[in-house]
Amino acid sequence: MRRLDTICLAMACLLVSACQGRPKGPTLVPTVILPPASPSPTDTVGGSALLRVILTPAEQALPAGASASFSARIAGWSTVLGVPWWSVQRLPQGMQAEFVTQASLSEIILVVLTTCPLEPGRHAFTVQATISGTVFSAEASLRVTERPQESQPGTLQGTFTANTISVRRGGPSTEQYGPFQILQFCAGTQPRMLRVAVQSATSDVGTPLTEPPRFAVFRLLLWPPPSHLQTMSGSYVANAVEEAQSSNGGLEWSIRDGAYCLVFLRSPLEMSLPAEKRPAKVTYTLQITP
């Protein structure tokens, strides 16, 4: 089989594997999580100085339960060398690694999710790329600064004119924006539910809205929280995963470890609506129940 055919076949296998992931969230490439082992040499393996794995950044800090994203690329790579297969070695207990596809085979996004029991301190692991049987690696680390401060129930307010965040579920035409609330949770030993309910909503002219604004909960794939949320769609790389959407002014969601963003959504296209139909302020409650 010619080398071009081999590359095309490997890319096809990558795409099939990517499509077999979860119904929501990042698109995954084949990922191998290896058991703890002795550290591998950093940057290059096999005596080659032409290829090396570069991680950006090499270390990040976050509270336990939050997530971090690393950009991993292979300097000096070209298609004639073969398709790289990415893996993570020495991943500490309490972490989960996922690779998010990129347009370039030589570059990929690594998302590391942590759990609340993870102890404060530095936790190192190795990112590897295997090309034609040769392994290239680099070390990354997460510095867990503290245990998360769990979000508490209460009644909150938000406006669509100040302190907002933008959300895209695809390209620029999908952009929405609105008030938001950063939430941090630990799952615990007993299942718990987050319940969000709109108590009241007013329009741009101060009149009550007949329909409450829509809202959603997104898991953050990086820390600190970004000023713009992007979910996975086509060539757009996600920094958030949509977990749940509202229905008739309410939302129920099973709590899991992590850092999240609750966003009330308004489209720029709504500016064409009459002022009495455009959401301006919303009052809502957060409940956490067994």
Question: Global pTM?
Answer: 0.80
Q: Answer yes or no: is pLDDT of 25 > 50.
A: no
pLDDT at 34: 36
pLDDT, tens digit, for every residue of 92-119? 999 999 998 765 677 899 999 999 999 9
- 162: its two tokens: 């100040």
How would you class 232 by CB atoms within 10 Å of its CB: exposed for 0-12, middle for 13-18, buried for 19 or more?
buried
User: What is the CA angle 201-203-204, rounded to 5?
Assistant: 140
Which strand ranges, in their side-by-side order, compose the sheet holding 85-89?
Answer: 32-33, 85-89, 121-131, 134-144, 59-62
pLDDT at 19: 35
* Residue 284 pLDDT level (bands cut at 50, 70, 90): very high
- 119: its two tokens: 């102890």
User: For 62-82, what is the HEC assignment?
Assistant: ECCCCEEEEEEEEECCCHHHC
- Say what the alpha-carbon torsion angle 15, 82, 221, 178 is, to the nearest 10 degrees: -60
- 210: its two tokens: 């007949």
pLDDT, tens digit, for every residue of 36-84? 333 333 333 333 457 899 999 999 999 999 999 999 999 988 878 888 9
Set out the domains of the chain in order of their start, with CATH numbers.
3-8+23-144 (2.60.40.10), 154-289 (2.60.120)
Q: Answer yes or no: is pLDDT of 212 > 60.
A: yes
pLDDT at 64: 95
Q: How far is CA 126 from CA 27, 95, 228, 230, in A?
A: 21, 13, 29, 27
pLDDT, tens digit, for every residue of 218-269? 999 999 999 999 997 677 888 999 999 999 999 999 999 999 999 999 999 8
- Say what the alpha-carbon torsion angle 238, 244, 250, 252 is, to the nearest 10 degrees: -140
CB 221 within 8 A of CB 69: yes
**Secondary element (H or E) of residue 9:** helix 3-19
Residue type, 215: F
